Amino acid sequence: MILEAETLVVGCGNILFQDDGFGPRVAQELSKYELPPDIRVIDAGTGAPHLIFTLLDETCKKLIILDCISWGAAPGTLRKFSVDELPKGKFVDAHNWTLSEPLHGLKDKIDIVVIGCQPARVSEPDIVMELTPEVEQAIPGAIEMVMEELGIDYGTVRQAEEPIRRSAQGGA
Protein backbone atom coordinates (compact mmCIF):
# COMPACT_ATOMS: atom_id res chain seq x y z
CA MET A 1 0.00 0.00 0.00
CA ILE A 2 1.36 3.40 -0.92
CA LEU A 3 0.23 5.62 1.89
CA GLU A 4 2.83 8.35 1.87
CA ALA A 5 0.35 11.21 1.53
CA GLU A 6 0.17 13.55 4.52
CA THR A 7 -3.59 13.26 4.67
CA LEU A 8 -5.63 10.20 3.84
CA VAL A 9 -9.36 10.39 3.31
CA VAL A 10 -10.67 6.86 3.72
CA GLY A 11 -14.17 5.70 2.80
CA CYS A 12 -15.00 2.53 4.75
CA GLY A 13 -17.84 0.11 4.13
CA ASN A 14 -19.27 -2.26 1.58
CA ILE A 15 -21.10 -0.80 -1.41
CA LEU A 16 -23.17 -3.99 -1.66
CA PHE A 17 -24.96 -3.45 1.64
CA GLN A 18 -26.99 -0.30 1.07
CA ASP A 19 -26.07 2.48 3.54
CA ASP A 20 -22.89 0.63 4.50
CA GLY A 21 -21.66 1.99 1.16
CA PHE A 22 -21.75 5.58 2.44
CA GLY A 23 -17.98 5.85 2.95
CA PRO A 24 -16.93 4.41 -0.44
CA ARG A 25 -19.58 6.50 -2.14
CA VAL A 26 -18.26 9.75 -0.65
CA ALA A 27 -14.71 8.68 -1.59
CA GLN A 28 -15.92 8.13 -5.14
CA GLU A 29 -17.47 11.61 -5.25
CA LEU A 30 -14.32 13.17 -3.76
CA SER A 31 -12.22 11.66 -6.53
CA LYS A 32 -13.95 14.09 -8.89
CA TYR A 33 -12.27 17.07 -7.22
CA GLU A 34 -8.82 18.47 -7.86
CA LEU A 35 -7.27 18.17 -4.45
CA PRO A 36 -3.73 19.12 -3.38
CA PRO A 37 -1.10 16.41 -4.03
CA ASP A 38 -0.47 15.62 -0.39
CA ILE A 39 -4.03 14.33 0.00
CA ARG A 40 -5.07 10.87 -1.06
CA VAL A 41 -8.63 9.57 -1.20
CA ILE A 42 -9.14 5.82 -0.81
CA ASP A 43 -12.18 3.60 -1.21
CA ALA A 44 -11.09 1.13 1.45
CA GLY A 45 -14.14 -1.10 1.21
CA THR A 46 -14.20 -3.57 4.07
CA GLY A 47 -10.44 -3.96 4.18
CA ALA A 48 -9.65 -0.82 6.14
CA PRO A 49 -8.72 -2.27 9.54
CA HIS A 50 -6.10 -4.68 8.33
CA LEU A 51 -5.15 -3.21 4.97
CA ILE A 52 -4.86 0.46 5.80
CA PHE A 53 -4.85 1.22 9.45
CA THR A 54 -2.07 -1.24 10.17
CA LEU A 55 0.09 -0.18 7.22
CA LEU A 56 0.31 3.62 7.35
CA ASP A 57 3.46 5.40 6.25
CA GLU A 58 5.28 7.60 8.75
CA THR A 59 4.55 10.59 6.52
CA CYS A 60 0.83 10.31 7.28
CA LYS A 61 -0.24 13.10 9.63
CA LYS A 62 -4.01 13.06 9.36
CA LEU A 63 -6.74 10.53 8.73
CA ILE A 64 -10.25 11.51 7.74
CA ILE A 65 -12.51 8.49 7.93
CA LEU A 66 -15.97 8.25 6.45
CA ASP A 67 -18.22 5.47 7.63
CA CYS A 68 -21.81 4.78 8.49
CA ILE A 69 -22.22 4.81 12.25
CA SER A 70 -25.44 4.17 14.10
CA TRP A 71 -25.97 6.36 17.15
CA GLY A 72 -29.74 6.67 17.09
CA ALA A 73 -29.97 9.96 15.17
CA ALA A 74 -32.30 10.64 12.26
CA PRO A 75 -31.18 8.74 9.13
CA GLY A 76 -28.77 10.78 7.03
CA THR A 77 -27.54 12.84 9.98
CA LEU A 78 -23.82 13.63 9.80
CA ARG A 79 -21.58 14.01 12.80
CA LYS A 80 -17.91 14.18 13.59
CA PHE A 81 -16.63 11.63 16.08
CA SER A 82 -13.40 11.50 17.98
CA VAL A 83 -11.74 8.12 18.33
CA ASP A 84 -12.49 8.15 22.05
CA GLU A 85 -16.20 8.16 21.26
CA LEU A 86 -15.89 4.91 19.34
CA PRO A 87 -16.07 1.58 21.18
CA LYS A 88 -12.67 -0.08 21.33
CA GLY A 89 -13.67 -3.38 19.75
CA LYS A 90 -11.57 -6.49 19.92
CA PHE A 91 -9.69 -8.51 17.35
CA VAL A 92 -11.43 -11.84 16.75
CA ASP A 93 -10.40 -12.60 13.21
CA ALA A 94 -8.96 -10.74 10.27
CA HIS A 95 -12.28 -10.49 8.49
CA ASN A 96 -14.41 -9.21 11.32
CA TRP A 97 -11.91 -6.82 12.78
CA THR A 98 -13.67 -3.65 13.82
CA LEU A 99 -12.70 -0.31 12.36
CA SER A 100 -12.16 1.34 15.71
CA GLU A 101 -9.61 -0.94 17.40
CA PRO A 102 -6.61 0.02 15.25
CA LEU A 103 -7.72 3.67 15.42
CA HIS A 104 -7.39 3.59 19.20
CA GLY A 105 -3.81 2.41 18.68
CA LEU A 106 -3.10 5.27 16.26
CA LYS A 107 -4.89 8.18 17.89
CA ASP A 108 -1.90 9.52 19.82
CA LYS A 109 0.34 9.53 16.74
CA ILE A 110 -1.99 10.86 14.05
CA ASP A 111 -4.79 13.38 13.91
CA ILE A 112 -7.93 11.31 13.29
CA VAL A 113 -11.37 12.63 12.40
CA VAL A 114 -14.26 10.26 11.85
CA ILE A 115 -17.23 11.58 9.89
CA GLY A 116 -20.17 9.31 10.57
CA CYS A 117 -23.49 9.14 8.81
CA GLN A 118 -26.49 7.61 10.56
CA PRO A 119 -27.76 4.86 8.24
CA ALA A 120 -31.43 4.29 7.55
CA ARG A 121 -30.82 0.67 6.66
CA VAL A 122 -27.84 -1.65 6.24
CA SER A 123 -29.08 -4.54 4.17
CA GLU A 124 -26.44 -7.15 5.09
CA PRO A 125 -26.60 -10.04 4.34
CA ASP A 126 -28.94 -9.01 1.50
CA ILE A 127 -27.35 -7.11 -1.33
CA VAL A 128 -28.76 -3.68 -2.13
CA MET A 129 -26.55 -1.43 -4.21
CA GLU A 130 -28.33 1.91 -3.73
CA LEU A 131 -28.08 4.09 -0.67
CA THR A 132 -31.37 5.02 1.00
CA PRO A 133 -32.60 8.50 -0.05
CA GLU A 134 -31.76 9.94 3.38
CA VAL A 135 -28.12 8.88 3.17
CA GLU A 136 -27.85 9.78 -0.51
CA GLN A 137 -28.93 13.32 0.36
CA ALA A 138 -26.25 13.50 3.05
CA ILE A 139 -23.37 13.12 0.58
CA PRO A 140 -22.90 16.81 -0.36
CA GLY A 141 -22.84 17.69 3.33
CA ALA A 142 -20.23 15.00 3.95
CA ILE A 143 -18.06 16.36 1.15
CA GLU A 144 -18.36 19.83 2.63
CA MET A 145 -17.24 18.49 6.02
CA VAL A 146 -14.24 16.77 4.44
CA MET A 147 -13.27 19.98 2.61
CA GLU A 148 -13.51 21.89 5.86
CA GLU A 149 -11.20 19.36 7.51
CA LEU A 150 -8.80 19.71 4.61
CA GLY A 151 -8.88 23.50 4.93
CA ILE A 152 -10.24 23.89 1.42
CA ASP A 153 -12.89 26.40 0.50
CA TYR A 154 -15.67 24.21 -0.87
CA GLY A 155 -16.86 27.00 -3.14
CA THR A 156 -13.54 27.32 -4.95
CA VAL A 157 -12.39 23.72 -5.40
CA ARG A 158 -12.45 22.61 -9.02
CA GLN A 159 -14.03 19.43 -10.26
CA ALA A 160 -11.80 17.39 -12.53
CA GLU A 161 -12.93 16.29 -15.98
CA GLU A 162 -12.50 12.66 -15.01
CA PRO A 163 -12.04 10.95 -11.65
CA ILE A 164 -8.61 11.59 -10.22
CA ARG A 165 -6.69 8.95 -8.43
CA ARG A 166 -3.52 10.05 -6.77
CA SER A 167 -1.68 6.85 -7.15
CA ALA A 168 1.82 5.50 -7.03
CA GLN A 169 1.84 4.90 -10.73
CA GLY A 170 4.54 7.45 -11.35
CA GLY A 171 2.50 9.49 -13.76
CA ALA A 172 0.94 6.53 -15.55
Partner 1 sequence: MSQVVVSPTTRHEGRSKLVLEVDDNGIVTQGNYLSTTPVRGFEKFITGKAMEFAPVASSRFCGICPITHATASSESIERALGIMPPKDGLVLRQLCNLGNRLHSHPLHELLILPDFVKDPNAAMAATVRIQKMRKIGQGIVDITGGEAIHAPNIRIGGMQKNISEAAKRKIIQMLNDYEPLMKEQVDFMLKTLKGNTEVPKKLGVHDRELMATDVNYGNSDVFETEYFYRFSEITPKSYYPGDIGLEACTSIPLIGGRTVEGGPRARLVKYKGFSQKDCGDFDVRGAMAINIARAMEIPLAHARARELIQQLDTTKPTLTKPPESGGDGKTLGVAANEAPRGVNVHTAKVKDGKITYYNCLVATTWNIPTVGKACEGQHYKWAEYVVRAYDPCVSCATHMIVLKEGKVVKEAMI
In whole angstroms, what is the distance from residue 26 CA to residue 111 CA? 20
Compute the least distance from the CB of residue 80 to partner 1, in Å. Answer: 25
In whole angstroms, what is the distance from residue 165 CA to residue 58 CA? 21
Interface residues toward partner 1, by CB under 8 A: 1-2, 14-16, 42-48, 50-51, 54-55, 92-96, 124-127, 165, 167-172
Residue closer to partner 1 by CB (options 16, 106) is: 16
Residue closer to partner 1 by CB (options 46, 132) is: 46
Residue closer to partner 1 by CB (options 57, 144) is: 57
CA distances from 62 to 49, 88, 93, 103, 114 (A): 16, 20, 27, 12, 11
Compute the least distance from the CB of residue 49 to partner 1, in Å. Answer: 9
Residue closer to partner 1 by CB (options 26, 78) is: 26
Compute the least distance from the CB of residue 140 to partner 1, in Å. Answer: 24
Compute the least distance from the CB of residue 82 to partner 1, in Å. Answer: 25
Nearest CA among 37, 57, 29 for reference residue 171: 37
